[in-house]
Amino acid sequence: MYKLQEIFSNRELALIAWTLVATISILFDQSIRKALYKVLRAFFQPSILIIILLAMLYSVGVVYILRMIDLWSQTLLKNTLLWFFGSGVIILFSLNKAEKEKNFFTKLLLDNLKLLLVFEFIINLHQFSLTTELVMLPVLAFLTGMKLIAEREERTQKVKVGIEWILTIGGLAIIVISLIDIYSHINDFANPSTLTTFLLPIILSISFIPCAYFIALYMGYEMLYVRLTLFLKDKQDLQFAKWRVLWKCNFHLSKLKQLSPKINVLNSRSTRQEIKEIIN
C-alpha cells in the first residue's frame, strides 16, 4: 500500500478502488456484460484505433518538444498519461460536435484558459486521507448524477438548485481547506516543479487542438465520402465527386459543414455538370 501511495495520490487510489468495484459489479450482471461487450467491440474498430494511435503519436511528439525545452521530465509521466486517457480521449470523443457547434475549437481553447483551472489545481494539491477520499468520491458522483437527472424536467428544478448549493458549499470548503494547507506548507509548494505540474495539462490540451482539428476534418471527409457512395453508383463519378469535395473544401471544416446538406440531391443519374454545380 505504501508503495502505491508513493506512485498514486489518495484521490487516484480511491478512484481506482471504486472503478474496480464498479467493474466487478458489472461482470456479475449478464445483460450489462453483453452491452459492455458491444461497446468494447465498437471501440476497437480499426478506424477508432487509428485515430487514437495518431493522437498518441502526436502527443508523444509534443512531449518530446517539451522535454527538449526543459518543460517535461520523467516525473511527469503519470500526469501525462492521466491527461491523455482523461482529457485527451474526452476531446477525441467530443469531436463529433465540431461540425455541428459553432466556434467549437475556440470554446475548447477558452475552456483551458479559465480561472476555474486554478481552483481545480488548488484542490488537487491538497489530498485528504484515503478513507475520506473513498467516502467523498461516491458522494460527489451521486450528487452530480442526481443533478444531471434533475436538470431534465421542469418539476425537479428545485432539487437541482438544492444540489448545486450543496456542491458549491462543499467545493468552497475544499478550496478553503486546500488554501490553508498550502499556506501552512508554502515551502513545499512554492517551487518550479509545482508550477510545471500546473501548466502541463493546460499546455498539452492547447497543443492538442491542431491535432483534434485535423482528426475532426478527417472524420468529416470520411462521413461525407460514405454518403457520396450511397448517392453515386458510378465509380468514376464517385471518384470525381470526392476529388471535387477535396478541392473545394480542403482544410476548411466549415465548408464541409455547408456542403453536407447540398449533396443529398445527388443520385445515380446525376451528370458531371450537376456534380460540379452542387459541389461548388
Total-model pTM:
0.74
Whether 201 and 237 share a structural domain: no
Number of domains, the chain: 2
Whether 56 and 139 share a structural domain: yes
CB 265 within 8 A of CB 275: no
**Most confidently modeled range among 64-73, 103-112, 164-173:** 64-73
Residue 74: count of CB within 10 angstroms of its CB: 8
Question: Predicted confidence band at 268 (pLDDT cuts at 50, 70, 90)?
Answer: confident
Instruction: Find the domain containing 257 and state its range.
Output: 232-280
Q: Is residue 220 in a domain?
A: no
Side-chain half-sphere CA neighbours of 164 within 13 A: 10
Whether 93 and 192 share a structural domain: yes
Whether 102 and 200 share a structural domain: yes
The cell for 252 is 476548411
CB 9 within 8 A of CB 129: no
Whether 54 and 180 share a structural domain: yes
What is the per-residue pLDDT for 2?
52
Please tell me what DSSP assigns to residue 250.
T
Residue 185 has pLDDT above 80, yes or no: no
